[in-house]
Amino acid sequence: MATRILLRHRTRAEPEPEPESDSDDSIDSIECEACGSGEADAELLLCDKCDAGYHTFCLRPILPRVPSGSWFCPSCSSTSSSCKKIPKKFPLVQTKIVDFFKIKRGSGFGQIESKKRKRKSVLTSKKKKKLLPFNPSEDPRRRLEQMASLATALTTTGTVFSNELTYVAGMAPKSANRAALEKGGMQVMSREDKETLIQCKMMMERGEWPPLLVAFDPVEGFTVEADRHIRDLTIITEYVGDVDYLRNRETDDGDSMMTLLSARDKSKSLVICPDKRSNIARFINGINNHTQDGKKKQNLKCVRFDVDGECRVLLVAIRDIRKGERLYYDYNGSEHEYPTHHFV
């Protein structure tokens, strides 16, 4: 049973004396405080203060691996550090927001281009699994508030806004991002879906923002909510950040890394690291969809595509999402895996 104790990963707890009796029963009784299961020993952490157990994938934010230092459960960490400090809000000033997000000058910011869609074409898109562009809020001031909420989160976390994958010296070069290296192959984005993705990017460059609000939770930190009704199959955002080799990040304690390429040759596998440069995707929570509660809450799916030979990751709505609903995508990462899914 000693092996199981090690697998439960008490990171730096003081050694405990051997119990006089029924030690095996004590070990077997440890369960995750979030899901109630004692399964998945290798991913069950023990709090270094109160001994409470939590699966890495049941935490919010989810931990992609066991932390190298001491670890404290949400209850103990919030007790010891009180509540997270409320961030200073980004100024609700159009010129500052335009500059922050590098919106094109003279793009008619504040005006929504007329988009007439026939109901028949929408139904056809649904049937053929075509992706849909996001539908911006009509009110220009509301869009400013949405953008300011993201700017607040980015500045608070010291993150530079970027809406594209970035390649930095000393990390993986752009030439390493080749979808052809994917183990088992990667689904190729259709021409129609590629046009929709380009449309979403162009809308954002004009200041036509996705209807999303970044909200601050004193316990969970930043989270993302729908600010208007969002339809099934809508592109929410692309997952972006610095691209690096997985081998360089295997001991990294970052909680937001995302698989970009899962290569047959593991030394060529890539991950997206959004800690320095990113967009709203960094603040959308992953969820363990192995539980009934997780399945009920999940409203997005993480989808990887081959786009002109390069790997890209999108977060896509898998059902209609009501206004005010918090966004969650499926993230059941294990010690050696990150979330990867095909769109089916």
Helix (H) / strand (E) containing 75: helix 74-81
Instruction: Report how far residue 109's alpha carbon sits from residue 101's, in angstroms, rounded to the nearest whole number.
Output: 12
What pairs with residue 317 in β-bridges?
300
**201 vs 103, 232, 238, 258, CA distance in Å?**
11, 19, 9, 20
pLDDT top residue among 278 and 66: 278
Instruction: Report how far residue 123's alpha carbon sits from residue 129's, in angstroms, rounded to the nearest whole number.
Output: 10
Residue 55 pLDDT exceeds 60 = yes
Specify the pTM. 0.74
Q: Which segment of 77-81, 129-133, 175-179, 263-267 scores lowest on mean pLDDT?
A: 77-81
Q: Are 317 and 336 in contact (CB under 8 A)?
A: no
* Residue reference for tokens 């970009």: 260
224-247: pLDDT as tens digits: 999 999 999 999 999 999 999 999
281-327: pLDDT as tens digits: 999 988 766 677 778 889 999 999 999 999 999 999 999 999 999 99
Q: Are 125 and 176 in contact (CB under 8 A)?
A: no
Q: Are strands 285-287 and 328-330 parallel, antiparallel or unpaired?
A: parallel
Instruction: Report how far residue 153's alpha carbon sits from residue 88's, in angstroms, rounded to the nearest whole number.
Output: 9
Instruction: Report how far residue 59's alpha carbon sits from residue 311's, in angstroms, rounded to the nearest whole number.
Output: 28
Instruction: Report how far residue 234's alpha carbon sits from residue 126's, in angstroms, rounded to the nearest whole number.
Output: 10
Q: Are 314 and 239 in contact (CB under 8 A)?
A: yes
What pairs with residue 263 in β-bridges?
182
Determine what percent of the chain is predicted with pLDDT higher than 70.
Answer: 73
Residue 3 pLDDT exceeds 80 = no
Residue 47 in tokens: 């709090």
Band of residue 334 on the pLDDT scale cut at 50, 70, 90? very low
pLDDT top residue among 198 and 256: 198
